[in-house]
Amino acid sequence: MKIAMVGSGYVGLVSGACFADFGHDVVCIDKDQSKIDRLHEGVMPIYEPGLDALVESNVKAGRLSFTTSLAEGIKGAAAVFIAVGTPSRRGDGHADLSFVYAVAREVGESLANDAVIVTKSTVPVGTGDEVERIIRDTGTAQKFSVVSNPEFLREGAAIGDFKRPDRIVIGAEDEFGREVMREVYRPLFLNESPILFTSRRSSELIKYAANAFLATKITFINEMADLCEKVGANVQDVSRGIGMDNRIGSKFLHAGPGYGGSCFPKDTLALLKTAEDYDSPTRIVEAVVKTNESRKRAMGRKVLDALGGADKARGKKAALLGLTFKPNTDDMRDSPSIAIAQTLTDAGVEVSAYDPEGMEQARPLMPHVTMCDDPYSAIAGAEAIAIVTEWDAFRALDLMRVKELASAPVLVDLRNIYSPEDVRAAGFIYASIGRN
């Protein structure tokens, strides 16, 4: 089956490469000429473990190609996926659907055969109806159906998630749409990945409800962590104790500096806007968004405390280890490190940082931070060292070397990757999240 993927970013490229690996004939389309040029040269636009090898083998096998021409790319495709960005709209927090609608228009104008148009981008309820209207208004003579198929992959584990999903959600309004989607995902049926057919609107809402629920879990355990610090409890034990209950589950119960990334912040905001538009308030999600937002700067203040408080921190040096919103990605979108670095520089602290993959993306977002070649150069001369992202590279730092490089350092472990006893035994002052 021929599949066209419009938008070759995180989701489009990973999905396209995986579909090709399943044996489909895939064309990835992007309007960004330099991205397509680099893909032709085998250079990945993002850091994602295993992606370069997957792309290379499928290009070699002749199942995966790239183009900037949408009209060429969708020719003969039975399924045309829309996987462009849906960022927060400046000013009001609604999902910006201009990229999705622009693609819908172009697809309608170029469609040369019957096809199912599949929205993989995360889009608010009702977007599928609008995509359908836009395509119909182009006057296309081809038979088409608009389907919702949200993506649940996680950055850093994207290929595994795509190939072995917990479930595949398909929101279709007619048999043509369902039939083509069954064929698209047939290789996964064989792997026994559960597939859930719903209406288009339910499918669109499932994606937002899932992300809002996960963001709520994270925010809940973060608040429990704050309480643990106050009452002398250990959040890791609390987390284990509640997570062993099957009704709760252990995932997304790791206390930390607040959620970030390309999805949770914008998707929770967009859900609030949808709820507002339909006069159906989602108070829990409102609280989650507010709590998470204020947590990021609070983490910056935690590092300031390690430097003796905001009024004594001016002129001192702090090191940030890890900048991306999570490990194994170079994605800096809405990473807590941005607010932490800003809080520190606002207080006159000199900040140095190291991240294994994210420094290029981070540089323009934190122009006053000195980016270093390795963790030890970042640590040199620092009085506070904050672990912001739990990259493996930071799990076994040579603490003796750190002590030689830094002057009476305080280790602020915002990911709880060290044992307080070990770090204190090595002569450090140690602060973490929800543990004393």
* CB nearer to ligand NAD: pick between 29 and 272: 29
- Checking phi first, is residue 308 left (phi over 0); if not, alpha (psi -120 to 50) or beta? left
Binding to ligand NAD (CB under 6 A): which residues in 260-289? 262-263
The answer to the question of residue 215 lying near ligand NAD (CB under 6 A) is no
Using rule CB under 6 A, residue 371 touches ligand NAD: no
**Measured distance CA(172)–CA(144) in Å, rounded:** 12
Task: Compute the distance between CA of residue 251 and CA of residue 364 in angstroms, rounded to an integer.
Answer: 33
Nearer to ligand NAD, 148 or 432 (CB): 148
Q: Considering only residues 126 through 165, tell me which ones interact with ligand NAD, judged by CB under 6 A.
A: 151, 153, 155
Give the C-alpha separation, 319 to 411, whole Å. Answer: 10
Q: Is 2 helix (H, G, I), strand (E, B) or coil?
A: strand
The C-alpha torsion from 261 through 262 and 263 to 266, rounded to 10°, is 100
Q: Is 335 in the site for ligand NAD (CB under 6 A)?
A: no
The contact mask relative to ligand NAD for 389-428 (x = CB under 6 A, - = no) is: ----------------------------------------
CB nearer ligand NAD, residue 45 or residue 409: 45
DSSP assignment of 94-136 equals -B--HHHHHHHHHHHHH--S-EEEEE-S---TTHHHHHHHHHH
Is 176 a binding residue for ligand NAD by CB under 6 A? The answer is: no
CB closer to ligand NAD out of 86 and 432: 86
In terms of CB distance, is 100 or 406 closer to ligand NAD? 100
- Catalytic, 263? Answer yes
- Per-residue DSSP letters for 62-75? TSEEEES-HHHHHT
Tell me the two tokens of residue 192: 């026994």
Q: How far apart are CA 405 and CA 142, in angstroms?
A: 68
Q: CA of 172: how far to CAs of 58, 196, 202, in Å?
A: 29, 11, 10
Distance between CA 19 and CA 5 in Å, rounded? 10
Query: Shortest gap between Cβ of 369 and ligand NAD (angstroms)?
Result: 24
Instruction: With contacts defined by CB under 6 A, name the span among 1-9, 177-185, 396-404, 415-423 that binds ligand NAD.
Output: 1-9
Can residue 334 be called a binding residue for ligand NAD (CB under 6 A)?
Answer: no
- Give the nearest distance from C-beta 185 to ligand NAD in angstroms: 16
Q: What is the CA radius of gyration of the chain?
A: 23
Query: How far is it, in rounded angstroms, from Cα 291 to Cα 222?
Result: 9
Tokens standing for residue 76: 């003969």
Q: How far is the CB of 424 from ligand NAD (least distance, A)?
A: 37
Candidates 31, 75, 105, 301; binder of ligand NAD (CB under 6 A) is 31
Q: Which two tokens stand for residue 426?
A: 């090595």
CB under 6 A: which stretch of 24-32, 240-248, 377-385, 426-434 binds ligand NAD?
24-32
Closest approach of Cβ 95 to ligand NAD, in Å? 8
99 binds ligand NAD (CB under 6 A): yes
Exposure of 253 in the CB half-sphere (CA atoms within 13 A): 16
6 touching ligand NAD, by CB under 6 A: yes
Q: If binding is defined by CB under 6 A, does position 327 make contact with ligand NAD?
A: no
Other beta carbons within 10 Å of 370: 14
Nearer to ligand NAD, 162 or 391 (CB): 162
Question: Looking at 17, 26, 28, 29, which residue binds ligand NAD (CB under 6 A)?
Answer: 29
- In the chain, what is the straight-line distance between the N-terminal and C-terminal CA atoms, in Å? 57
CB of 265 to ligand NAD, least distance (A): 11
Of positions 10, 162, 391, 418, contacts ligand NAD by CB under 6 A:
10
| Residues 69-98 close enough to bind ligand NAD by CB under 6 A | 83-86
Contact (CB, 8 A) for 391 and 355: yes
| From candidates 8, 145, 342, 361, binder to ligand NAD by CB under 6 A | 8
The region of 28-36, 172-180, 371-379, 400-408 touching ligand NAD under the rule CB under 6 A is: 28-36
Which one is catalytic: 28, 228, 263, 372?
263
Phi/psi zone of residue 302: left (φ > 0), alpha (ψ -120 to 50 degrees), beta? alpha
Contacts to ligand NAD by CB under 6 A: 6-12, 29-32, 35, 83-86, 99, 102-103, 121-122, 151, 153, 155, 262-263
**Residues assigned a catalytic role:** 263
